[in-house]
Amino acid sequence: MTLKRVVVTGIGALTPIGNNAQDYWDNLLKGISGAAPITRFDTSKFKTQFACEVKNLDLDNHFDRKEGRKLDLFSKFAIIVADEAVKDAGLVEDKVNQDRTGVIWGSGIGGIITFQEEVKGFVEGGMNPRFNPFFIPKMISDIAAGHISIKYGFRGPNFSLVSACATSTNSMIDAFNYIRLGKADVIITGGSEAAINESCIGGFNAMHALSTRNDDPMTASRPFDKDRDGFVMGEGAGCLVLEEYEHAKARGAKIYGEIAGGGLSADAHHITAPHPDGLGALNVMRSAMEDDPSITPESLDYINVHGTSTPLGDVAELKAIRGVFGDHSETLNISSTKSMTGHLLGAAGAIEGIATLLAVKNDIVPPTINHFTDDDQIDSKLNLTFHKAHKRTVNAALSNTFGFGGHNASVIFKKFVD
């Protein structure tokens, strides 16, 4: 069978550095850090007291009080960005076939704020402890996809998946495959995460995964820097509208770019640590390039790396890039936008996919900020786009995301040519 072409016709973003896609992109190019002291709870008992929170978001502008009580914050984030992307794509005005329009959404952790609140309330409930009847539908990770489909009446493929921090890239790849196989015309895809609470900060602290640079939060996310000491937790959501090319063309949709491939692999090594030689990362990047004959290692111009600012992960990923791209790895631009947004866990791939797509569309690479000291374990010949955005032709670009459990996912965007 002939596989369909898949293009991106709408985007939406809610991030620690911008509450819509345009503001997010503008602040990426400016090198803005989203890290600051946590405002949600008393952090005095925690080793890490800062994160990349979404800022200046009035949820009352998006949800009435009755509706809002039925939704965990991760679902609210999902609905907000889906609304932006659906409007951006013109799906409501164009009356697409709802039976062939689906939602594939992901969250690495789901409704953990609701889970913590409900369990705490039950334990502290005295003689009459009770659970909210909306506890389960607020908490389960698949519910965001359900809410989006219900809001718009989209009756096509609808599900959620979980692969830790690879989740929303995994979601995009599944959406890409459903469309190119002819199973749907349009799929709303991406991910959302709202995990900045006591449970998650405490849990990641116990693993020694988070930066503890409380004296200087804005520079704490330091991918590739010698003094990096862990990732900075972020929150938010990203949404992409994927569409079969002929369908998009027939309705005159604007096209941001084309998806050229998606790869999946496993490290099969350790529950949290990457393979020391980046074997899973190497395999997933090679796999992503197999879907489109026009994509070769030399055709790629930019890689938005997983780059979490952890001692082991940053080194392993760059080893993998060198292994896949050889001498061409020195010609590529490489950057970690987590230096600005922090790590959005299951939503990371969605917002980083948007950044990668916009780099292709606009021929500019966002920077890696917060580099102060070279690390002799980091390949010095690689262009890690430190400090400032770099203007260059970006015909094709790859976005990497890797998750606990050894899950790896990579997606490739290329310029759209009719």
Q: Which residues are catalytic?
A: 165, 306, 343
- Among 304, 374, 316, which Cα is nearest to 341's? 304
Can you tell me the distance from the alpha carbon of 91 to that of 254, in angstroms, rounded to the nearest whole number? 11
Distance of CA 273 to the CA centre of its chain: 20
Residue 316 phi/psi, 5-degree rounding, is -60, -40
Can you tell me the distance from the alpha carbon of 14 to that of 78, in angstroms, rounded to the nearest whole number? 9
Can you tell me the distance from the alpha carbon of 165 to that of 401, in angstroms, rounded to the nearest whole number? 6
Q: What tokens were used for 354?
A: 């948007």
Q: Which own/partner contact pairs does 269-272 have at CB distance under 8 Å and 24+ positions apart?
A: 269/406, 270/406, 271/404, 271/405, 271/406, 272/207, 272/209, 272/404
- H or E element at residue 316: helix 311-325
Query: DSSP readout, 37-91?
Result: E--SS--TTSS--EEB---S--GGGTS-HHHHTT--HHHHHHHHHHHHHHHHHTH
Can you tell me the distance from the alpha carbon of 318 to that of 303, in angstroms, rounded to the nearest whole number? 11
The radius of gyration of the chain from alpha carbons, rounded to an integer in Å, stands at 20
Can you tell me the distance from the alpha carbon of 165 to that of 188, in angstroms, rounded to the nearest whole number? 19
Can you tell me the distance from the alpha carbon of 79 to that of 85, in angstroms, rounded to the nearest whole number? 10
CA within 13 Å, CB half, 310: 22
Three-class SS state of 198: helix
